[in-house]
């Protein structure tokens, strides 16, 4: 007998970096399943537009994931307006590329603050709500760069490795608690974050909707490891078994070592300028704390 999906109808879901990209696509997919969704974003105007476009059951709330008080207020307002939190999708993140030896302190600090510290903060605040009720689902969006360090994005890879390890450890600690976890690991996603990236051989970009569908599937049929596409999970597992010299040769043959290192800096300039901005007003369309137009990947 086929396993029946868990219903998402009426579930309360909070999404960080929800105004655009993967966050918006995930909100749309959840609304179609009948969920009630809080879209959190540092660009409140963009979040409000997304909420208006997605319609009934969606609320827009201000959120800076680097500020614990802001994150706490986001979840509190979500529950005040929609009801007890069932799912948190820690989706906000940025990717700043270049040689690690030449990376600015600002680029390092921003990626650590948003991609890692923001996920840690959100996870703690969500678990404080889930554990007393013995129910809830924590979804942390990482990347395939959290399984294999990618040259040209060393700090980005480090933050995503950390999110994968963090979520794995949380999963073990929560065993028997009734609270579930998922870590989402997409290849590069066709959003602004992927602007100017090189293509690997046999590796194409996926759409935000592909990641959103994978997240929804992991909520309906709970599983921890969520690769997008699923096939990349098999590739990752096989690669981990290969000797270093062989895996390096495969990386060069597939040009995965050039995906980030060979990125077009001109094509990425505007995105990276806004992603490193510290104040919302200086960041223009969508500042870094909620990741402009995109979310995690590759």
Catalytically active residues, by annotation: 156
Please list, residue by residue across 37-70, b when 16 or more beta carbons sit within 10 angstroms of its beta carbon and e when fewer do.
Answer: bbbbbbbbebbbbbbeebeebbbbbbbbbbbbeb
- Measured in degrees and rounded to the nearest 5, phi and psi for residue 202 equal 80, 5
Question: CA-to-CA distance for 187 and 159, rounded, in angstroms?
Answer: 15
Alpha-helical (H) ranges within the chain are 21-32, 44-54, 68-82, 105-111, 118-133, 154-173, 208-220, 231-241, 244-254, 265-275, 280-283
Considering only CA atoms, give the Rg of the chain: 18
Q: How many CB atoms lie within 10 A of CB 231?
A: 10
Question: CA-to-CA distance for 226 and 213, rounded, in angstroms?
Answer: 11
Please give the structure tokens belonging to residue 180: 């579930």
């Amino acid at each position: 007998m086929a396993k029946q999906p868990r219903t998402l109808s009426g579930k309360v879901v909070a999404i960080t970096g929800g105004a655009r990209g993967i966050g918006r696509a995930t909100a749309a997919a959840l609304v179609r399943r009948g969920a009630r969704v809080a879209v959190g974003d540092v660009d409140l105007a963009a979040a409000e537009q997304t909420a208006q476009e997605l319609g009934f059951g969606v609320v827009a709330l201000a959120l800076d994931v680097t500020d614990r008080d802001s994150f706490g207020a986001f979840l509190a307002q979500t529950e005040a307006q929609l009801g007890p939190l069932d799912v948190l999708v820690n989706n906000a993140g940025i990717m700043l590329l270049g040689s690690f030896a030449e990376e600015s302190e600002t680029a390092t600090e921003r990626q650590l603050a948003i991609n890692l510290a923001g996920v840690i903060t959100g996870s703690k605040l969500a678990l404080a709500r889930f554990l007393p009720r013995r129910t809830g689902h924590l979804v942390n969006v990482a990347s395939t760069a959290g399984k294999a360090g990618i040259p040209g994005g060393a700090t980005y890879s480090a933050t995503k490795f950390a999110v994968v390890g963090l979520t794995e450890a949380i999963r073990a600690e929560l065993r028997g608690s009734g609270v579930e976890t998922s870590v989402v690991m997409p290849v590069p996603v066709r959003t602004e974050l992927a602007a100017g990236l090189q293509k690997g051989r046999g590796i194409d970009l996926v759409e935000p909707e592909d990641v959103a569908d994978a997240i929804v599937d992991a909520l309906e049929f709970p599983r921890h490891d969520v690769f997008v596409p699923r096939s990349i999970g098999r590739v990752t597992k096989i690669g981990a078994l290969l000797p270093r010299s062989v895996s390096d040769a495969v990386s060069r043959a597939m040009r995965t070592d050039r995906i980030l290192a060979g990125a077009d800096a001109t094509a990425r300039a505007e995105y990276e300028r806004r992603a490193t901005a510290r104040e919302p007003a200086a960041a223009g369309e969508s500042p870094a704390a909620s990741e402009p137009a995109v979310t995690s990947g590759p």
